[in-house]
Amino acid sequence: MTPAGQTAILPAVRSLKGVSRMKCPNDNADLAPAKRDGLQVEACPQCQGLWLNRQELNALEDEAFHLGDDEKGTLMADPAPSARICPECGKPMQSFQYRFYDLQLDYCEAGHGFWLDAGEDKRVLELMKEEQARLKRSGRAEQTWASHLQHLRSHSIIEKVRDLFR
C-alpha cells in the first residue's frame, strides 16, 4: 500500500499485460500486447518476436496437438547459455533444443517465459501437427500388429495349420 499522494512504481509483470514495460531481447524495443495464434501475448513490434509464459506456450502447442501433454515428450533438450536477457527479470536466458527438433528457443531459468523469434510460433504449430500425425500412425500400426498377433494366436488358426499337416 502506498501513502496518499505517492505513486506506486509498477514492475514489468505478466499480470499487467496492458502496461508492458518489458524490452525485446533482440532489439530492446518495448514489448506490446498482441494477439497471435489465438493467444494474448507480448510481442515486439519491430522484430515480431514473442514472449510467452509456460501456459501460453502450452496453449500454443495445444492449438495443433490434441493427444494430451504426456504425449508431447520432453520440452527442453541441450540447454546452453544464451546472449539474450529475460524481458521480465533482466537475467541471462538459456537456449534449448525444442522437443528434440531442429528448433532453438530461449527461456528464463527463473521460469518467467520463453522467447520465440519471428515465425517460430508457426514452426511450433507445424512440429506439433507432425508429432500428432506421427503418434496416430504409430498407434494405428501398433493396433494392427496386435490384431494380427491375436489372430495368429487364436485357436482356430492353430487348428487349421495342424489340419494341413495331418
Is the separation of the CB atoms in 41 and 51 below 8 Å?
yes
Q: What is the CA radius of gyration of the chain?
A: 25
92, β-bridge pairs = 85
| C-alpha cell belonging to residue 148 | 494380427
CA dist 74 and 141 (Å) reads 23
Residue 51 lies in a domain: yes
Residue type present at position 36: R
CA dist 76 and 94 (Å) reads 10
pLDDT at 146 (0 to 100): 64
pLDDT at 9 (0 to 100): 30
CA dist 133 and 36 (Å) reads 24
Query: Could you state, in chain order, the average pLDDT of each consecutive group of 10 residues for the chain (166 residues)?
Result: 36 43 95 93 96 94 80 81 96 93 94 96 92 77 66 66 75
| C-alpha cell belonging to residue 102 | 531442429
Closest of 11, 155, 54 to residue 62, by C-alpha: 54
pLDDT at 7 (0 to 100): 32
95, β-bridge pairs = 80, 106
Domain of residue 68 covers 32-164
Q: How many domains are contained in the chain?
A: 1
pLDDT at 135 (0 to 100): 77
pTM above 0.85, yes or no: no
Residue 23 lies in a domain: no
Residue 1 lies in a domain: no
